[in-house]
Structure 1
Amino acid sequence: MLTLYSYPPLFGVADNNGYGLKVFAFLKLAGVPFKHEHIFDASNAPRGQLPYIVDGEHRVGDSDTIIAHVSRKYGVTLDAALSPARRTTNLLITRTLDDLYWVMSYSRWKDGRYWHQFRDALKREHPSLTDEGLMKAKEFNAQRYYYQGIGRFEPEAAMARGIADLAALATLIPPHGYVHGDKPTEIDAAIYGFIANIYFYEIETPLKQFVISHGGLAEHCRAIHAAVSI
C-alpha cells in the first residue's frame, strides 16, 4: 500500500504543512488507499523535503509530482473533464499557493507576534519536541526566508502579501460548491491544504482573520475538511 510521509498534525488538521495536507486531501478525494506516517525528519525524503510517498519501488517527493504519479498509476479522474483553460487556471492558483506558503510559514516561525504561541502549541501537541530543536528550526527557517525574499519584509508587509494571495483566491471560489463546479477536483485539495492551515489555526494572525471574514474561503475549507475527515 502507498505510504504518505508528512509532517504531524496541529490544531485538528492532518498535516500542519500546506503541501502535505494538499497530498493527504488529494488521496482522500481520489479514493486511493494509503497509510499516513507523521515525521519531522526529512533526511530520507527525495530532495530532503516533506511530503513524500513510498509506492512499491517508487519514492516520490514534491506534492505536484506525487499527485501526477498517483493520477497516472491509479487512474485518478478528478480532473478528467477540465478544459485546457481551467487547467491553466489551476496552474496559476498553484503558483499563488506557493507564494502564500512563505507568508504562512513566516507567520509561524519568524513573526515575533505569534512565534511563542506557535512554539507552545507544537510542544503541547508533540511533547517530544525540545526548545533547543525548535530554536534550530527557527534559525534554519530564518535563513530560508532571507534567501527566498520574504524574510526581508517587515511583518506587516509580509502579511499584506499573504492577504493579497488570499484575496485573489477568494474571487475564484464560489459561495457554494467548488472551484470548477459541484464536485471537488485536484485544485480544491490544493487550496484546502493551505486554507485549512489558516482557518483551523488557533492563533489569530491577519491571515486567519481574512479567511474567517470571507465566507467563500471558509465554507470551501469546511466542505473539503468534512469530505477528507471521513
Structure 2
Amino acid sequence: MSLGFQASPAGLLEYLQTSVVQLLTDPTQLSPGQGVLVGASALLVGAVLWSCCGGQRRNKVKLRAEFTPGKVYLHAPPPVKAIPCLTPFGMKLETYLRMADIPFEHMYGRSMGPKGKIPWIEYNGEAMGDSGLILEFLNREKGVDLNQSLSAADKAVSRAFTKMVEENTYWGLVEDRWIENFDKLQDLFELPWFVMFLIRSAKGKIKKTLWAHGIGRHTKDDLRGIIEKDLRAISNFLGTKPYLMGEEPTEVDAAVFGQLSEIVWATSGSYLHRIVTVDCPNLLAYCNRIKDRYWSDWDQLTNKTKKDQ
C-alpha cells in the first residue's frame, strides 16, 4: 500500500497536514494511506502526552483496611542477610523512627508508594512518600525535633551533608551496585535466578538515569574520585566526634547512616567498602555506633540469630 508522499521529512509533514485537514473536513475521502498516517500520529502524540502528563500522576496504592490511629506503617523491602533494608532511604527512615521513638510497624514488600518510590508510609489512612518529606511531617505531627540542640549554622551544615549524600554520594552506590556488580545482585537480593533474569532490563534503565543525572557521563576513575571526596569529607568533618554534629545524634545522622550502612554491610569488595572500612575507619566506627545503639534487633532481622518464637 502506497502512502502517497515523498520519502523526506518535508514530504511527510506536508502529507500529514493534508491528511489532518481531510480528516476534519471530509473524513470519508481519506485514503487508506492517510488513515494509517493519521492513526499512527495520534498514537505517538498520545504516548508523548501520557509520558509528560499522565506519567507524573501520583501512583495509586493499596492501603490497609484497618489501622491504628497515630501509628506509622513502614513500607520497605524485606530484610536480607546483609542488611535489614536494601535501600539507603529505607535505612534512613527506619533509623529516624528508632531515634525519635515513634511507634511503627513493618509492611515488608516491594510495592511502590504514591510517588512511585520506596520506602513510603501509611499514617491514619493516608499514603506518604519521600523520606525527607516524611521526616518533616512526622516532626510536626509527633512534636519531634532531633535538631533542637543545633544552631542555625549547624542546621545549615546538616542539610548540606544530607543533600550531598542523597543527591550525589547515593548515585555512586547505585552505579557500583547495579552496573559494576550487577552479577552479585542475585546473592545480595536473595532472589531466584529467573527473577534476576526478568529485572536485567533495569540495568539499562539505571544507566540512562545515571547519564541523565550527569554522574554517569564521567569515566569510572572520575566518578570514583568524586564519591571518594564525598566520603572523605564526611570522615574529616566527623573526626573523633561520636556523631556528625556532636555528642548526640541528630537527623543528619539518620541520613548519612542510611547511605553508609549500605556501603559497610552490602558492598563487600568494592572501592566504596575499602574507603569506609579501611581508609576512613572512623566512618566504620560511626556506623557500628549507630547500629549498636538503635538496631538491637539487627541480627534477628537479618536471620543471624533465631527470632523469638
TM-score between both structures, scaled by the size of structure 2? 0.68
The Cα of 1:181 is off from its aligned counterpart by: 1.9
Match for residue 78 of structure 1? Answer: 146
Query: Alignment length, in residue pairs?
Result: 224
Structure 1 residues 48 and 9: alpha-carbon distance in aligned structure 2, compared to 1, 3 A threshold: same
The aligned runs of 1:1-230 (5 Å cut-off) are: 1-42=71-112, 45-98=113-166, 99-111=168-180, 114-122=181-189, 125-127=190-192, 130-213=195-278, 214-230=280-296
RMSD across aligned positions (CA): 1.7
Of the structure 1 ranges 146-155 and 71-80, higher mean CA displacement relative to structure 2 is found in 146-155
Q: Deviations over 1:61-98 (max 9, x none)?
A: 11110101111111113111211001000111011102
Structure 1 residues 198 and 177: alpha-carbon distance in aligned structure 2, compared to 1, 3 A threshold: same
Structure 1 residues 162 and 156: alpha-carbon distance in aligned structure 2, compared to 1, 3 A threshold: same
Specify which structure has the bigger relative contact order, considering alpha-carbon pairs within 8 angstroms and separated by 6 or more residues. Answer: 1
Of the structure 1 ranges 93-102 and 146-155, higher mean CA displacement relative to structure 2 is found in 146-155
Letter in 2 for 1:49: K
Secondary structure of 2:115's counterpart equals helix
Higher radius of gyration, 1 or 2:
2
The Cα of 1:11 is off from its aligned counterpart by: 4.4
Match for residue 299 of structure 2? Answer: none
Q: Distance in 1 between matches of 2:196 and 2:89?
A: 25
The Cα of 1:203 is off from its aligned counterpart by: 2.5
The Cα of 1:215 is off from its aligned counterpart by: 1.8
8 A contact 1:176–1:216 mirrored in 2: no
Letter in 1 for 2:173: M
The Cα of 1:189 is off from its aligned counterpart by: 1.0
- Where has structure 1 moved over 6 Å in runs of 4 or more? none
8 A contact 1:14–1:24 mirrored in 2: no
Q: Distance in 2 between matches of 1:66 and 1:179?
A: 22
8 A contact 1:103–1:159 mirrored in 2: yes
Q: Deviations over 1:32-81 (max 9, x none)?
A: 01012232231xx1220111111113321111101011111111131112
TM-score between both structures, scaled by the size of structure 1? 0.90
Q: Deviations over 1:97-116 (max 9, x none)?
A: 020111100101112xx221
8 A contact 2:186–2:192 mirrored in 1: no
How much identity, in percent, do the aligned residues show?
25
Secondary structure of 1:197's counterpart equals helix
Q: Deviations over 1:149-201 (max 9, x none)?
A: 22222333222221111011111213241112221111111111000100112
